Amino acid sequence: MNNNHSQLKFFIVFFLVFVTTVANAQLTIIIDQVPNDTPSHSRIYFAGNINDWTPNDPLFSFSLNSDGKYFIFLDSLELEMDLQYKLTRGSWDLVEVNADNKDIEDRLYTYLGPDTIVLKVANWKNPKVPNKVKSSLSYNVEMITDSFYMPQLNRYRRIWVYLPPDYDIEEDLQYPVLYMQDGQNLFDDASSSFGEWHVDEHLNSLFDQGYIIPIVIGIDHGDSYRLNEYSIEESENYNITPKGDLYLEFLIETLKPFIDSHYRTLSNKENTGIMGSSLGANIAAYGILTASEVFNLAGIFSPAFKMAPSLYSYPLKKSESIRIYELCGSNESKDMVANMMEMDSLFMSYNNSREQIQFKIVEGAKHNETLWSNGFKEAILFLFNP
């Protein structure tokens, strides 16, 4: 009897906790169908614009109920918040795709109040299946190496380089340099997870129009390392152990000296830029705020400042050569525009001129490569052709 009583008490407590959780949850997502080859009890994650597209965020992991259905409760959502997301099995190499193993568009949902949505997953990306997406690399983009050593982090990374079309012709010319994060998504459809920025095509077009264009160095993100490498402060909410200082040290102390010694660069701060989107934009902002002796040019696209509030405490040093291009869309998360406006005000408060700092909100645009690609040319013109 005592054993039965204990079991009954356990189930009552479990039921009450479950009911309370459901009552407090604003959005319930249920996956009622997964591919047949999904490993038993496989972890499935929500990766979207509310957790900076982290593919293995433990705080956004689905649970498995007794019926074999995956479910997750999302709370603290704001009314009319637009969600963009995909489902993964812990990596972008294992993201959901269509039945033909091809990428799908982001899932979209507008939160209008407590709700339950039911999803089906057609297929998981299979890295062993050859990528049928044709490479879109221009002739003047090459991979420096797929295993550049990062001593500060004790790991290796793929590095790309874009060289201006006249680099091998005008052998006496030196060029400014732009260091860009998330290298997978800059030049090539075949390597990108969400589509590419078309950096090479945009720069070649600007070159044909007679503009100054930089050498571009693309540094791949580290997949599961991305969240920590692009972060500068701890966060229990986002499960962050920051490695941003070490990553920035890698750029400054290891990668930049290598690039300056192997390519004809204008290595001074006035001709050195850093650019990124989302968390990559945080690192770009951190670079120009804390290492302006190295970077005087920055492209800050759709920054995730909510994950790095300490950035607001760093003064932007007054300098005639500092130039910053800020961009976001009006249909990103609601805090995106407000946070970027706050940072812009701080940039301007240190006696910098509007001629040095450009701030742009694109009406109707969302948090994606299309927005960043569309804004890239304007950013290059502003940063490198004042």
Q: Specify the fold of 2-124.
A: Immunoglobulin-like (2.60.40)
Phi, psi of 330 (to 5 degrees): -70, -20
pLDDT digits (tens, 9 = 90+) for 339-350: 999 999 988 887
275 sits in which H/E element: strand 272-277
> What was the pLDDT predicted at 104?
86
Per-residue pLDDT, averaged over 227-245, amounts to: 88
CATH of domain 141-384: 3.40.50.1820
Q: What angle do CA 119, 124, 129 make, to 5 degrees?
A: 155
Residue 18 pLDDT class (50, 70, 90 cuts): very low
Q: What are the structural domain ranges in the chain?
A: 2-124, 141-384
Residue 127 pLDDT class (50, 70, 90 cuts): low
**288 burial type by CB count under 10 A (0-12 exposed, 13-18 middle, 19+ buried):** buried
Same fold yes or no, 2-124 and 141-384: no
What is this structure's pTM? 0.78
Residue 351 pLDDT class (50, 70, 90 cuts): low
Per-residue pLDDT, averaged over 215-223, amounts to: 95
> What was the pLDDT predicted at 139?
93
264: helix, strand or coil: coil
Categorise residue 320: left if φ over 0, alpha if ψ from -120 to 50, beta otherwise: alpha
Distance CA 202, CA 97 (A): 28
pLDDT at 130 > cutoff 90: no
pLDDT digits (tens, 9 = 90+) for 259-292: 999 999 999 999 999 999 999 999 999 999 999 9
Q: Identify whether the C-beta of residue 285 lies closer than 8 Å to the C-beta of residue 303.
A: yes
